[in-house]
Amino acid sequence: MGIARLADVIKEEAAEAVNSFPLRQYRDRVIALDASIAIYQFRTAMPKLFNRNGENISHLQGLFYRTLHLLENGIKPVFVFDGRPPDLKQPLLARRAEAAGARRDAAESRRAENLPRPLKQDCETLLSYLGVPYVQAPAEAEATCAALVKSGKVWCTATEDMDALPFGSLRLIRHLSSKKNCEVEEISLPDILQKLGMTQEQFVDLYILLGCDYCGKIWRLGPKKALKLLQQHGTIEQVLQNIDPQKHPLPANWDLEGTRRLFLQPEVADPGRITLEWRDPDPEGLVRFLAHEKHMNESRVCQRLQRWQEAQSKPREAQPKQRVPREGRRQRKLGEFFPASKRARPPEVPGPRPSRKRQKLQVGTPGEAGSPDPGK
């Protein structure tokens, strides 16, 4: 909610903290993604895709395509799942549920976990077959993403949500999708703090004044004034002593300390106890799971996997100079994806299998030879 405001403030007052880089610069970088947000977007924002059992599989399709796109660009993604929402967020969730209407007991039972159980399990299964690690956050996913960045295990957080910044994610990238453009917007937290002349604590205060999800905001105190007053007085308490309480009433049940603590000492997964490993995607497993079990269009799955494979076998695209030694890449042929039996295939598609020869997929080991650091 207050996210747009923060984006505006940053663009206007700390434009130097925002840079655009081509996606290629993130080759070999570990990037944390908020899984719940992505999945929810796939599920809601899209023409819903139903398989023959009437199950909505938009999230699988979306996650499959998007993750392969990242892998093709040499990115090492790690997905972070939301845990239990903090108590301070309950009023907001309740309001949303109420606005949504009808069912409050359903909302009640759903409070513990954001995503329906089977939905999440499907995604975890898919990620496992893709060889991509995922992390279960105890609370807000953004908080754990930030902790992973701070620990150095992860290079940056990829999200459209600005929450990661007050949580302390040093780098935040946006617009990470497979658009033609391939330009990624990177926001540097240290640069923001330096340009605004603020500490992280003051930045959190700013975020609170802008109207974060965890507590109400002060009436008639928008981005411009909030920034100016905070820079002038240092803390929200000091700001409050310098504005007219009549004109700027505080919201009810305003837990300022609790909200600050939520950002500054959030409940996160311990990065020290997390090991991130990436394996090659398992094409056979993917076809089995997506096409046979979940009834995604089989030829589409295979086509996409094949494209991924071809991209693997010629990594020269990114760096024409540095050639990956041929020995470094082990190539192995896999059996046919399609089991010899054409059973599950209803004859509705007359000629869906044009080139049989290309159905053989090869698994290549992604070159460990990395490119030098991206910007700064």
Does 255 bind DNA (CB under 7 A)? Our answer is no
Which of the residues 273 through 302 are near DNA (CB under 7 A)?
295-297, 300
Binding to DNA by residue 94, rule CB under 7 A? no
Residue 4 is a binding residue for DNA (CB under 7 A): yes
116/152 with CB nearer DNA: 116
- Calpha distance 162→186 (Å, rounded): 12
Q: Closest approach of Cβ 128 to DNA, in Å? A: 20
**Binding-site member from 194, 303, 313, 365 for DNA (CB under 7 A):** 303
Q: Does 137 bind DNA (CB under 7 A)?
A: no
The contact pattern for DNA, residues 218-237, with x = CB under 7 A and - = no contact, is -xxxxxxxx-----------
Residue 117 contacts DNA per CB under 7 A: no
Nearest-approach distance from CB 66 to DNA, in angstroms = 4
Select 253 or 275, whichever has its Cβ closest to DNA: 253
Choose which of 10, 14, 23, 57 interacts with DNA (CB under 7 A).
57
Please report, as ranges, the residues that interact with DNA according to CB under 7 A.
1, 3-4, 7, 37, 40-52, 54-57, 61-62, 65-66, 68-69, 96-97, 99-103, 106-107, 160-162, 177-180, 211, 217, 219-226, 247, 295-297, 300, 303-304, 307
